[in-house]
Amino acid sequence: MLFYVSIAIGFFPSMQYMSFGLGLTGIIVVIASLLTSIGLTFYFNQKLTMISLEVVPFLILAIGVDNMFLIARAERTIPDYVTSVEERIGFAMKEIGPSIFTAAFCESIAFFIGLLTDVPALQNFCLIAGLGVTADFILQMTIFVAALSIDRKRLDENRADLLFCCYKISEPKPRREELIRPRFQKYYVPLLFKKRTMASVFGITFSLVIIGIFSCYKLLLGLNQNVSLVEGSDTYDYFETLYDYGQAGPPAYLVFKNVDYTDQANLDTMNQIAAQLATLNDTVLAPVYSWTSSFENFIQSGTVWAEACGSDEAAALSFDGAMQMFVNTKIDSECCQSYGLCGEQFSLDVIFDDLGVVRATRYRFQHQTMKSQEDYIRGLLETRRACDEYSKNLTTYSDAQEAGEWRWDFPDMP
């Protein structure tokens, strides 16, 4: 990029009129802008993601190089009778400065608006890119413009590029022949303003817009994590191997918070949710570990397991007391070994507060093998659809209190 900028800005291979020094300054400005944006990001305690580290440097470089071309060309087109360096730089910035400011302002605002999204990686990218564009504009309006004025003074004193302290030469100024601009003005513009051309352009644009709108329905949701990783790295190889040979689906948890468990209708609804999840054979791997059915069997008095499990005693307790007794039923007990009522396996699925009141519970299950992002999204949508069908019928303790059904927070009290 350094050689490209230097050759494009100056006249290569002229010792006097080539601009390697000016191009090097422009590249340093781009690097300084990138370091400034990353430093400010760290100052605001934001993380640097791999996507930002890989993409933002090229974004800042593209914008910075474009501005360097515009500023250098604007100064070069100033007539030679304007000999004062300050006046030449002033006329050049008067010509191109507002355009560069408008472009940088719109680009930075667009990136900062991206901070309103809910995707953390995208927020980080937009923050670094917006700060980078702003810092690049400020440094180009100061450092690069100053370097351009120094380079112009070097040319006026007939000094060589890079070795200006050692060599003072006088070469005839090369003539740069414009290749693209005259041909656009001579051939492209007249052709574009013909009626047939305008009709064709309008028709093609309208067709592309319609195709783009309909193509949105075929967009695949999700983002493969490997697109943000360095190919050949350990993490990249891990995900590639996991995609090719992994056969284990991700675990899933369905959490119930503040549900009125004393209402039998709620327990029936929770059983229906577990049964509905078990029918999702395409995305859910049976069984669904539900504590409700085992708990309801545990508190039934007069059963064959009542003596071994203490069901008669549990049935006389409040819900919270019975649940405490249920989750303390050990796996090696007779109740579990002989009758399959193993409450200890659900001990982590029930959350008690300091007063022994059940505040939250959960179901556990595992999804089928999922490899692509499309599989994960389909599994999430089907799980939510199955849960939303019945969860709207659940009531909370607040609902029961509003209806006049008050509940003691102390489960052992009569």
Rounded to whole angstroms, how far apart are CA atoms 326 and 343?
5
Single residue among 176, 205, 234 that ends a domain in this structure? 176
Question: 225 pLDDT exceeds 60?
Answer: yes
Single residue among 147, 176, 205 that ends a domain in this structure? 176
Decide if 335 is inside a domain: yes
Q: Which of 279, 305, 273 is nearest to 393 (CA)?
A: 273
pLDDT in tens, 365-389: 999 888 888 888 888 889 998 888 8
Rounded to whole angstroms, how far apart are CA atoms 333 and 304?
15
Q: Give me the pLDDT at residue 411, please.
A: 40
Q: Locate 256 and state its tokens.
A: 């119930």
Q: What mean pLDDT is predicted for residues 276-286?
A: 88
Counting the structural domains of the chain, the total is 2
Single residue among 111, 143, 176 that ends a domain in this structure? 176
Rounded to whole angstroms, how far apart are CA atoms 36 and 134?
10
130 and 43 within one domain: yes
Please tell me the least confidently modeled range out of 226-230, 246-250, 251-255, 319-323.
226-230
Decide if 79 is inside a domain: yes
Decide if 240 is inside a domain: no
Distances (CA, A) of 204 to 4, 138, 201, 371: 35, 40, 5, 39
Q: Give me the pLDDT at residue 201, please.
A: 94
Local structure of 201: helix, strand or coil: helix
Of the pLDDT bands very low, low, confident and very high (cuts 50, 70, 90), residue 176 is low
Q: At 57, which CATH number?
A: 1.20.1640
Question: Residue 93's CB: how many other CB atoms inside 10 A?
Answer: 18
Residue 219 has what DSSP assignment?
Answer: P
Q: Locate 49 and state its tokens.
A: 């993601």
Question: Mean pLDDT score of the chain, rounded to an integer?
Answer: 83
Question: Which structural domain, as residue segments, surrounds residue 264?
Answer: 251-402
Decide if 367 is inside a domain: yes
Question: 397 pLDDT exceeds 90?
Answer: no
More confidently predicted of 396 and 331: 331
pLDDT in tens, 144-163: 888 888 888 887 777 777 66
Q: What mean pLDDT is predicted for residues 223-232?
A: 76
pLDDT in tens, 57-67: 888 888 888 88
Rounded to whole angstroms, how far apart are CA atoms 45 and 30?
23
Rounded to whole angstroms, how far apart are CA atoms 300 and 111?
62
